[in-house]
């Protein structure tokens, strides 16, 4: 088959550096009977070495030409192909203990991460290549300049580790940014959780909407419903200084006061 041309609208940059590929596969450590889903197999840089270690691999590919290449090369018994946008895929259909991997398109990486949060109960782990600055935001701690909404939302659901950087020259065509690999493991049921995921999401978004302001001012009318001292939040604190636990405390306070609504709960609940 002819050489595939990378498509800008799909955010395609194909990994070609064998040493980097080997390092990623080693970090994933696939086992023969793993239920593994690869998002965006592309030209199979990860697909081939993963298939060498797996009985079967599930892949999600939006590009019809690349999906056709995969069907031409691999039998259904070895490779299960879903030709779709990953944002529209129900990951629960793969069962429990799913391992998700992929070189995520940089233009929609954050929406995919949030989409996968809805399936975290059935996922064992996730290994992704992303723009390095995105991963730096994902793993940032309170007080870091990179700490923001993405940090808090993902850390409420995952333990995350940045593994290593990937330079632009490892790709064809090379992107204009440095990439990195992140490992994400869903936190257990015993984790501290907000009483309402919907109100928690609203709370974090509100807090970071005006991140340069002190939180008491940035929250506007909501500030009157915050037990500041009980949560250990200083008068001058900004959103980027709050811990995950403090954001959960804020969220629960807003839910109890009825100033932010959980639209996922019916009126009779």
Q: What is the 3-state secondary structure (H, E, C) of 115-159?
A: HHHCCHHHEEEEEEEEEHHHHHHHHCCCCCCCCCHHHHHHHCCEE
Rounded Cα gap, residues 46 and 40, in angstroms = 10
**Quick check: 233 pLDDT over 70?**
yes
Find, among 173, 135, 132, 167, the residue nearest to 12 by Cα. 173
Question: Per the structure block, which two tokens stand in for 99?
Answer: 């391992």
Q: What is the pLDDT of residues 85-142, one digit of tens each?
A: 999 999 999 999 999 999 998 889 999 999 999 999 999 999 999 999 999 999 999 9
- Give domain 8-186's CATH superfamily: Vaccinia Virus protein VP39 (3.40.50.150)
**What distance in Å separates the CA atoms of residue 71 and residue 87, rounded to the nearest whole number?**
22
Q: Write the pLDDT tens digit of every residue in 238-256.
A: 999 999 999 999 999 999 9
- pLDDT beyond 60 at 10: no
Decide: pTM greater than 0.85. yes
- CATH 1.10.8.100 residue ranges of the chain are 197-257
**Dihedrals φ, ψ of 84, to 5°?**
-165, 170
Q: Where in the chain is the domain with CATH 3.40.50.150?
A: 8-186
CATH placement of domain 197-257: 1.10.8.100
Helix (H) / strand (E) element for 102: namely: strand 98-103
């Amino acid at each position: 088959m002819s050489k595939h041309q990378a498509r800008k609208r799909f955010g395609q940059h194909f990994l070609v550096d064998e040493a980097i590929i080997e390092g990623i596969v080693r970090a994933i450590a696939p086992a023969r009977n793993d239920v593994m889903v690869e998002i965006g197999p592309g030209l199979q840089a990860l697909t081939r070495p993963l298939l060498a270690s797996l009985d079967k691999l599930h892949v999600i590919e939006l590009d019809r030409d690349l999906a056709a290449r995969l069907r031409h090369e691999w039998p259904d018994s070895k490779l299960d192909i879903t030709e779709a946008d990953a944002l529209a895929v129900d990951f629960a259909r793969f069962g429990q203990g799913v391992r998700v991997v992929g070189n995520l398109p940089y233009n929609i990486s954050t929406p995919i991460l949030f989409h996968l949060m809805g399936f975290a109960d059935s996922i064992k782990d996730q290994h992704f290549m992303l723009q390095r600055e995105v991963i730096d935001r994902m793993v940032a701690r309170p007080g870091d300049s990179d700490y923001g909404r993405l940090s808090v939302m993902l850390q409420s659901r995952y333990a995350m580790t940045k593994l290593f950087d990937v330079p632009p020259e490892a790709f064809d065509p090379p992107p204009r940014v440095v990439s990195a690999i992140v490992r994400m493991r869903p936190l257990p049921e015993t984790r501290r959780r907000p009483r309402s995921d919907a109100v928690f999401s609203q709370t974090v978004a509100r807090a970071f909407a005006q991140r340069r302001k002190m939180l008491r001012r940035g929250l506007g009318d909501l500030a009157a419903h915050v037990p500041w001292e009980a949560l250990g939040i200083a008068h001058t604190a900004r959103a980027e200084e709050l811990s995950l636990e403090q954001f959960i405390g804020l969220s629960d306070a807003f839910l109890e006061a009825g100033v932010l609504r959980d639209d996922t709960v019916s009126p009779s609940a």
